[in-house]
């Protein structure tokens, strides 16, 4: 097998995403053939070199891509010191090393992917690739189309510019409004923060689509494996 960058090997082995793997290397947690390595450009031969992370020897793994309909109340992390429920509990125990592609906050629900492929994770989450995610938000109070039209121009919140690629008012009455949004930036709690700018609280948030993959008939709390064709369709054409 040809040599690959150490951080890619770590990501392919299911240790962490590519960016998290880089932090492990820089922090001195990775050894190659008995020698601690902190240089990100280091290359390894997966068939010949021994790679150890925090005392555990790694092996290349078959790449997995799983879609989950996350229920509210689940965290998008591998562990939780407070022992709250995590999304990995919804999967078979032998897939415990899969990590989420991006995040949905604890109160949000809907489509999220889990994988052990660091390149796939990077290309779906890094803003430069611009993979769109579609959400349906239920918001307290009446909203007008003119109000949410600001989202496509960009609004400022806590020093950051937040922006929707597309926004549509689905329904609105005196108590609640339903809004559909498409985002490409992937910033933390971005949908909730957009509505906070307008002074409205999001009471329910569901992600219904990532790239061309829709939540569809996948029931809450259930999962399915993405097909090879679906995986290819998710990767930006210019960088796949």
Cα–Cα dist 67/213, whole Å: 9
119 is catalytic: no
Cα angle 169, 172, 175 (rounded to 5 degrees) comes to 140
Cα–Cα dist 185/179, whole Å: 18
Q: What is the DSSP letter of 239?
A: T
List 105, 107, 119, 171, catalytic entry: 105
Q: How far is CA 141 from the centre of its chain?
A: 30
Scanning 37-157, the segments in alpha helix (DSSP H) are 118-125, 145-148
Cα–Cα dist 139/200, whole Å: 6
* Residues involved in catalysis: 105
């Amino acid at each position: 097998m040809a040599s690959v960058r150490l951080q890619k090997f770590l990501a392919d082995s299911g240790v962490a995403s590519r960016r998290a793997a880089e932090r492990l290397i820089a922090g001195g947690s990775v050894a190659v053939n008995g020698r601690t390595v902190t240089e990100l450009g280091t290359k390894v031969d997966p068939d010949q070199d021994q790679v150890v992370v925090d005392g555990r020897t790694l092996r290349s793994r078959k790449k997995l891509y799983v879609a989950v309909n996350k229920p509210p109340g689940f965290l998008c992390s591998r562990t939780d010191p407070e022992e709250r429920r995590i999304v990995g509990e919804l999967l078979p125990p032998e897939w415990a090393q899969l990590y989420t592609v991006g995040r949905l906050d604890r109160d949000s629900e809907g489509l999220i992917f889990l994988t052990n492929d660091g390149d796939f994770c990077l290309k779906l989450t890094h803003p430069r690739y611009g993979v769109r995610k579609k959400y349906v938000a239920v918001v307290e109070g009446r909203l007008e189309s003119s109000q949410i039209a600001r989202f496509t121009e960009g609004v400022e919140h806590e020093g950051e510019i937040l922006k929707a690629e597309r926004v549509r008012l689905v329904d609105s009455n005196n108590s609640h409004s339903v809004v559909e949004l498409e985002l490409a930036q992937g910033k933390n709690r971005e949908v909730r923060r957009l509505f906070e700018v307008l002074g409205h609280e999001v009471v329910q948030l569901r992600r219904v689509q990532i790239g061309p993959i829709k939540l569809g008939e996948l029931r809450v709390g259930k999962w399915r494996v993405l097909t090879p064709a679906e995986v290819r369709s998710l990767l930006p054409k210019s960088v796949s």
